């Protein structure tokens, strides 16, 4: 696979010292029962012609197919809805984008490390994975078109994990919001940022483009980098501006 974004792994990070410290534990071994479970899950629920996937699961997959841009609109809507001042926005948006940038760099280093096959290849060529619990289907297709880079870790989960954690750090986790996807033209509503990232993990399986481990571990990479940023950067001063920030989180 010729990854058109392979260069991302070589970009100097903005906040973290060494992106490699956030690498995932990697995909499941091909011969493991855990791999077989995830294989059969995405084979059944992520198929273009799946009869097991519900209408809501299909909408979820198409909704998040818009990609990371949806998080920018979520942040802008929340900023406007909370009436954030210019100084607050000058803190929020660099927090979002610098954290997400480092999450992407770490994610692409992870992809280059593992070079793990996508479900479409794995399912079509299951007769050579050495696992008796998987069965090949040479004609299998995913619901969403397969991206041209490795499976593990999931890029959208890395970015989503970083954005969700950063917005949670700024506003608090219990923040109701709704957003319309330009991909599905449908609106989905959430009561917490954690709920949104959990949905991304599921959605990429329903899309047929990731094994669950790639999504779960990708989200963890994003969260870990956000945690690093929260400890080392953008820390508010203990003055009136800090008290305003705390009020934004409690609303």
- Mean pLDDT over the full length of the chain: 93
CA 209 to chain centre: 13
Q: Is the separation of the CB atoms in 153 and 110 below 8 Å?
A: yes
Assign 222 to helix, strand or coil. Answer: helix
Flag whether the pTM goes above 0.85.
Answer: yes
Mean pLDDT along residues 165-184: 93
- CA angle 117–121–122, rounded 5-degree value: 70
State the pLDDT at residue 2.
78
pLDDT digits (tens, 9 = 90+) for 66-104: 999 999 999 999 999 999 999 999 999 999 999 999 999
Reference 61, options 37, 42, 36, 38; nearest CA is: 42
State the pLDDT at residue 174.
81
pLDDT digits (tens, 9 = 90+) for 109-152: 999 999 999 999 999 999 999 999 999 999 999 999 999 999 99
The DSSP string of 86-145 is HHHHHHHHHHHHHHHHHHHHHHHHHHHHH-PPPHHHHHHTGGGSS-TT----TT--BSSP
Mean pLDDT along residues 194-204: 96
C-alpha pair distances (Å), 103 with each of 16, 98, 128, 157, 224: 10, 9, 33, 10, 9
Mean pLDDT along residues 170-194: 94
Assign 9 to helix, strand or coil. Answer: helix
d(CA 142, CA 188): 22
Domain ranges of the chain: 31-250
C-alpha pair distances (Å), 47 with each of 53, 60, 144, 155, 210: 9, 14, 9, 20, 12
Q: Which residue has the tokens 């948006």?
A: 93
pLDDT digits (tens, 9 = 90+) for 9-23: 999 999 999 999 999
Q: Give me the CATH code for the 31-250 domain, please.
A: 1.10.606.20
Phi/psi of residue 177, each to 5°?
-155, 155
State the pLDDT at residue 249.
53
pLDDT of 237 above 80: no
State the pLDDT at residue 240.
45
pLDDT of 245 above 60: no
């Amino acid at each position: 696979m010729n990854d058109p974004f392979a260069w991302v792994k070589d970009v100097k990070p903005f906040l973290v010292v060494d992106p490699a410290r956030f690498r995932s534990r990697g995909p499941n071994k091909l011969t493991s029962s855990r791999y077989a479970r995830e294989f059969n899950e995405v084979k059944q629920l992520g198929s273009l012609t799946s009869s097991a996937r519900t209408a809501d699961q299909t909408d979820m997959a198409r909704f998040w197919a818009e990609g990371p841009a949806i998080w920018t609109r979520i942040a802008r809507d929340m900023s406007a809805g909370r009436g954030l001042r210019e100084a607050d926005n000058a803190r929020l948006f660099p927090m979002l984008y610098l954290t997400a940038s480092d999450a992407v760099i770490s994610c692409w280093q992870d992809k280059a490390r593992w070079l793990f096959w996508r479900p479409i290849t794995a399912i079509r060529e299951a007769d050579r994975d050495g696992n008796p619990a998987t069965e090949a289907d040479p004609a299998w297709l995913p619901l969403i078109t397969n991206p041209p880079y490795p499976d593990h870790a999931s890029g959208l989960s890395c970015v989503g994990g970083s954005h969700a954690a950063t917005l949670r750090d700024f506003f608090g986790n219990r923040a109701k919001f709704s957003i319309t996807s330009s991909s599905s033209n449908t609106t989905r509503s959430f009561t917490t940022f954690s709920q949104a990232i959990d949905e991304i993990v599921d959605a990429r399986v329903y899309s047929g483009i990731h094994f669950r481990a790639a999504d779960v571990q990708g989200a963890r990479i994003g969260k870990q980098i956000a945690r690093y940023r929260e400890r080392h950067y953008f820390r508010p001063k203990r003055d009136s501006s800090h008290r305003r920030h705390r009020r934004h989180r409690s609303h």
